[in-house]
Structure 1
Amino acid sequence: MAKVKYYYDSDTLSYRKIELRKRDKFRKMMVFVVASAMMGGLIVFFMYQFVESPKQKVLKRELENMKLHYELLEKKMAQAEEVLDGIQKRDNNIYRTYFEANPIPEEQRKAGFGGVNRYKSMEGFDNSQMIINARRDLDILSKQLYVQSKSLDEIIDLAKDKEELLASIPAIQPVSKQDLTRMASGFGWRLDPFTKARKRHKGMDFTSPRGTPVYATGNGKVLRADSNSSGYGKHIRIDHGFGYITLYGHLSKYNVKRGQKVKRGDLIGYVGSTGRSQAPHLHYEVRYNKQQVNPINFYYGDLSPQEFQEMLKMASQEGQSLD
């Protein structure tokens, strides 16, 4: 029940009931309506800012899930780029060199996209930069894959008339690839196991048990199978033609003789520790036009891109050789 208000009338010396005019009643009602609207607006604003609706929660989860997928995508693209980089290096340094084709310039392989903004439609959103970066990396990777694919098509054409060359060039590991950790020392500067001085290691060392089979890495003819070369102990040299010679040192015994023709994968001897050797292992060299070259570039017929990257990592570690 509404309260009745009175005022004191000094003329009549009595209390009189206050009668509100319609205009005053309307003004009070409007004040109440405006105040209620403002209060309601504040409540809605507060809930919108600090209380998530079910739909907002769903959208938030979808956004977090999308960010996670983009992070995984970026990692996968980085891995793909690493593998592709190894293939590109082998393409320039091995395949194209074999067939006397000019290497593809780095700026051509790694070129981006100039001119018009290809990603303008993706701008203006909360996560625009993340999406643009992922799309740009994917586009660049796709372009590099296209360039590499065209290069390999060219190599295939060149190889059609050079089957003999491909069969002769060293292309596999001289020992089994079952355990890559057997690669003990790579090509380059290493510590001499006897003098402890830095010395240029002209091949790769594979630690293996005495008697482990050793295989020819390409077709050719046995030049030597003897122990008449200082330091190598019992060793084999194979002339593959086209300027390539491979050497297999510190053997325990031979399975071929001088003048014998061999094919890639033939058993030619067994691991030992003869000559200047600290422990049973195979010392393997590749010589091109009488110059020692890094054998790691000649396993393209035996290793996957991932295995090649793992061996490349181990071979780059500078430590002590075994001979």
Structure 2
Amino acid sequence: MEKYKFNKEKLEFVEVRRGVKWWCRKIFQYLLASILLAILYYCIFALVVSTDAERKLAKENEVMAEEYEKLRQKLEVLDNTVSNLKLKDREIYRSIFNADPLIVSLIDQSSPLLENIDTTKDEMIVSKSRQMLELMQESASDVQAVFEDINEECKYLGKSVDHIPSIVPLKDFSVGQTGASVGKKINPFYKTVVEHDGMDLLGAVGTDVLASADGVVVESVRSKRGRGNSVTIDHKNGYMTTYSHLGDILVRKGKSVGRGEVIGRIGLSGMSFAPHLHYCVTYNGKVVDPRNYFFADITPEQFREIIAISSNTGQSLD
């Protein structure tokens, strides 16, 4: 539609001619409106309508998330399994074979994947995770092979392994019966810090006390002082164990005893603050920590609890 303007000089309407600027401005307005409308249509389409490619990508993301979770669970189970095996391995090597344990490296903590995990592509993470899972499975097999070798060595050693203290010397022991272990502890009578040379195992009067390994009774003492009624067993391999503050003594000097055999019962003899067994282990005449000689009788989890409780117990019972 043409545009007219009143000319006061000629007293008539004249046609207004549109210049280049007007046309450029008009074209720009149309282009801008078209672009904005296109963006609006695209946003609505993208939010409401999914393409086949998008649906495929969404499905792949779901599968990848499930794969991540499965890998995480497998890694966690394997890591716990290998950790428990390594703990048992250390106990056996240090307590029995007096050798350094086998060190198994599961994952290189300086791996570029771990250092740059935030910028690593998903495909690379999945690939590397699978590789780490395979490495952990191989490591678990290696540790299992070590235990098989130990088993063969034990068979070769024969009965000598039965002479190594390896069980908790109380019948039906629970972690809650753990008391103070070797180290500087507060004496309950004098309230002074003294060296505690054994481990206190709490129990009711009359609880069965067991021999922790095969051996021969070399001392059977009845006393109302010091350690009270006590039994000492020589295991004929450098190890000796002493069981103190007994109520009843059921073995005599010179008697051969087997692992797990009842040798006495918990009492309150000697300077005992409460009914308990004072259990002492020596190797070649030197006091060693009895906690390291329960490995055949407890799980790694129980071992960690025993360590925590006994380490945080500052007062002994004798």
TM range (shorter): 0.7 to 0.9
Is the 8 Å Cα contact of residues 78 and 140 (structure 2) preserved in structure 1?
no
Distance between the aligned counterparts of 1:10 and 1:312, measured in 2? 109
1:263 to 1:43, Cα distance in 2 relative to 1, 3 A: same
Match of 2:34 in 1: 37
1:271 to 1:120, Cα distance in 2 relative to 1, 3 A: closer
Q: How far apart are residue 95 of structure 1 and its match? A: 3.8
Match of 1:201 in 2: 196
Alignment equivalent of 1:275, drawn from 270, 293, 300: 270
Distance between the aligned counterparts of 1:119 and 1:308, measured in 2? 31
Q: Deviations over 1:115-141 (max 9, x none)?
A: 995779977447899989978986886
Q: Does 1:288 align with 2:283?
A: yes
Distance between the aligned counterparts of 1:126 and 1:116, measured in 2? 15
Q: How far apart are residue 32 of structure 1 and its match? A: 3.9
What is the TM-score of this pair, normalised by structure 2? 0.77
Measured on the aligned residues, the alpha-carbon RMSD in Å equals: 4.5
What is the TM-score of this pair, normalised by structure 1? 0.75
- Structure 1: gaps spanning 5 or more residues: none
Q: Following TM superposition, where does structure 1 have runs of at least 4 consecutive aligned residues deviating by more than 4 angstroms?
A: 9-12, 17-21, 23-29, 41-48, 51-56, 61-82, 110-123, 125-144
Q: Tell me the SS of whatever aligns to 2:232.
A: strand
Match of 2:242 in 1: 247
1:52 to 1:289, Cα distance in 2 relative to 1, 3 A: farther
Q: Mapping of 1:1-323 within 5 angstroms? A: 5-9=3-7, 12-18=10-16, 30-40=27-37, 43=40, 83-84=84-85, 86-97=87-98, 102-104=99-101, 108-110=103-105, 113=108, 124-125=119-120, 145-227=140-222, 231-323=226-318
- Structure 2: gaps spanning 5 or more residues: none
Moved more, 114-123 or 272-281: 114-123
- Matched AA of 2:279: Y
- Matched AA of 2:209: V
- Matched AA of 1:171: S
- Matched AA of 1:285: C
Q: How far apart are residue 47 of structure 1 and its match? A: 8.0
1:26 to 1:139, Cα distance in 2 relative to 1, 3 A: same
Q: Deviations over 1:52-89 (max 9, x none)?
A: 99989x79x96999998898888767755764553343
Distance between the aligned counterparts of 1:129 and 1:84, measured in 2? 30
Q: How far apart are residue 10 of structure 1 and its match? A: 6.1
1:192 to 1:96, Cα distance in 2 relative to 1, 3 A: same
Q: Tell me the SS of whatever aligns to 1:185.
A: coil
Is the 8 Å Cα contact of residues 217 and 256 (structure 2) preserved in structure 1?
yes
Q: Tell me the SS of whatever aligns to 1:184.
A: coil
1:88 to 1:130, Cα distance in 2 relative to 1, 3 A: farther
Q: Tell me the SS of whatever aligns to 1:87.
A: helix
Q: How far apart are residue 200 of structure 1 and its match? A: 1.2
Is the 8 Å Cα contact of residues 96 and 164 (structure 2) preserved in structure 1?
no
Distance between the aligned counterparts of 2:196 and 2:69, measured in 1? 46
Q: Tell me the SS of whatever aligns to 2:170.
A: coil
Distance between the aligned counterparts of 2:223 and 2:132, measured in 1? 56
Is the 8 Å Cα contact of residues 190 and 199 (structure 1) preserved in structure 2?
yes
Is the 8 Å Cα contact of residues 113 and 125 (structure 2) preserved in structure 1?
no
- Matched AA of 2:100: P
